[in-house]
Amino acid sequence: MSEKVAAAVSLLKEYLALTKPGIVTLVLITTLGGMYLGSKGRLEPSLVFWTLWGTGLAAAGSAVLNMVIDKDIDKLMSRTALRPIPKGVVDPSKALVFGIILQALSYIILITFVGWLPTLLVAVASFSYVVLYSILLKRKNPIATEIGGISGALPPVIGYVASSGQIDINALALFLLMYMWQPPHFWVLALKYREDYKRAGVPTLPVVRGVFITKVKTLIYTVSLFPISLIPYFTGLVGDLYLFTAVLLNLLYIGLTLRFVFSKKEEDMRLFFFSILYLSVLFGMMIFDMVK
């Protein structure tokens, strides 16, 4: 491989890293899950293809724009210092253009092949993440975490609406579940990187209110997940096996969170990883035990 080709491949990898592939993958999985639920298991291949393409490009574009906005604070944090822009391998202005192009392609695809309502939801998700969270709130107020959660909560709703054509109680339940799950999931991680955020001047909850208040709010949000997770059962979307799994998962999650709250530890990454397991199993069981 020539030096020019090697350099081009290396730069391509850096641009790919700008899109936060891990987050985009999660967005695509939850969008597909929402589509399956909204269609009652009768997925239309072409609709799935275009919905995932459009939603994925929007998520990738939002991630790129977020990295452009955060370029100055990313270099101050050990967790983000090796991202493409702070380490100097990608020019911020070129990254900005890249992000805008991805966003534009997303809306063109969605409005052409999917529909106006899913396109609107994608636009709301991008706006809440890029403008409300990244630009307006992240550097000023710890409530940014809750506001930023809007974008992360919308992918399954986008999928559900794309395949069902409507926003109903089940779409709302999917949104609430994802929305209430995100803050406690993030706060456990924010406790681990509290000094990083403090050094960068980002007022996350642990930085502004301290460890104990963060633990208490984590518990409040975790407890709130219990009734929300049961909504799909009472609407008839899922069956008894889901109900049993949801009750068990919630009791475990609350128990682990209580133990963390009353412990002297200031961080608990086991709780962080359990929150991922919680969401994965809950959504998986929702799909497996869906009432058709």
Query: Mean per-residue pLDDT for 271-281?
Result: 96
Query: Mean per-residue pLDDT for 276-282?
Result: 96
Q: What is the per-residue pLDDT for 182?
A: 96
pLDDT digits (tens, 9 = 90+) for 44-93: 999 999 999 999 999 999 999 999 999 999 999 988 999 999 999 999 99
* Mean of the per-residue pLDDT values of the chain: 95
Q: What is the per-residue pLDDT for 34?
A: 97
Q: What is the per-residue pLDDT for 16?
A: 95
Cα gap 186→195, rounded to integer Å: 15
Q: What is the per-residue pLDDT for 1?
A: 56
pLDDT at 2 over 80: no
pLDDT band at 210 (very low <50, low <70, confident <90, very high): very high
pLDDT band at 292 (very low <50, low <70, confident <90, very high): confident
pLDDT digits (tens, 9 = 90+) for 101-112: 999 999 999 999
pLDDT band at 3 (very low <50, low <70, confident <90, very high): confident
Q: What is the per-residue pLDDT for 66?
A: 97
pLDDT at 160 over 60: yes
